[in-house]
Amino acid sequence: MLLKDHHAGYIEWDEFEKNQAHIAVNAFGQKGGVKSGRGGRALLAGLLTCGRCGRRLGVVYSRRTPGHPYYRCERINQMLAKPRCMTFGASRIDPAIGREIMRAVTPMAIEAAMEAERMHKNNCDERRRMVDLDLQQARYEASLAERRYAACDPDNRLIAAQLEKSWEGALRRVADCEARLVEARQLNLAAPVPDFVGIAADLEAAWRAPKVDMRCRQQLLRALITDIIADVDEAQREVILTIHWKGGQHSQLPGGREFQKPAHLERHLASAGVYQTYWHGLRLIIL
């Protein structure tokens, strides 16, 4: 039996359900659902679903250094010993998805920048509030230690010495918390506020910034995209990606031109086991 609000909780019920949803999404090994972003060199790892068998596409890397990522439907071959549904490289798929993400978020860039600035200010205030709460707790413990020392029998030197030592330790914690609070206030005043509006005006540079790792990009994709269905048009030699956005908006990108695979690349992929047909053209249908 579940009785909501029967006792005062540490967090609200809505926040609890939100945390449970995040835990379910981050459960990488469980069946179903979009997998959590774990970094690597493939942008769409954990997001692609095979349009033919419905299984999740995996990521493999060529054996030649640095190891180029490829998306491959592997489960049907591992579980049923059937031919793989598809294999295609990430060299043109990932940049195209990145450009589409930039195109989708550009109209909301200024609003997102203002929200990021507000969150930055709230984070600074929250850190200062936590230090202030630590200081209040330290002062209470110091006051309690002082009262215990004052109530102690002076003739009981062993207990008095121990209480005096505890009092001194509590006073040192108060001094440390006061120093941390002063430092936090000075940092908030001296630290320059990030130029969120400037970042919004140049999202492409922010997306390609060296300090932005692949895991951060994957998390951004999961904030905007629910799932991506991949299929291959063998007649047109194109990879067809059906992208399901959160919110139901849709758009369409023109198809890419056919790319002929060089002979040396074919031999290398065959020897590496990565294979089969090198789909370098690209057509995106976003739903």
Task: Please give the backbone phi and psi of residue 9, each rounded to the nearest 5 degrees, phi first.
Answer: -95, 165
Bond preceding residue 66 cis, omega within 30 of 0: yes
* Per-residue confidence in pLDDT tens, the chain, 287 aa: 778 877 888 888 889 988 887 777 666 555 555 566 677 888 888 888 888 888 888 888 887 777 788 888 887 777 777 788 888 888 888 888 888 888 777 777 667 777 777 887 888 888 888 888 999 999 999 999 989 888 888 888 888 888 889 999 999 999 998 888 888 877 766 656 566 656 656 777 778 888 888 888 888 888 888 888 888 887 877 888 888 888 777 665 544 433 333 343 344 434 444 333 333 344 444 44
Alpha-carbon distance of 276 to 71, in angstroms, equals 12
DSSP string for 182-210: HHHHHHHHHSPPP-HHHHHHTHHHHHT-T
DSSP string for 258-271: P-PPPHHHHHHHHH
Alpha-carbon distance of 54 to 86, in angstroms, equals 12
Alpha-carbon distance of 108 to 155, in angstroms, equals 73
Alpha-carbon distance of 277 to 132, in angstroms, equals 62
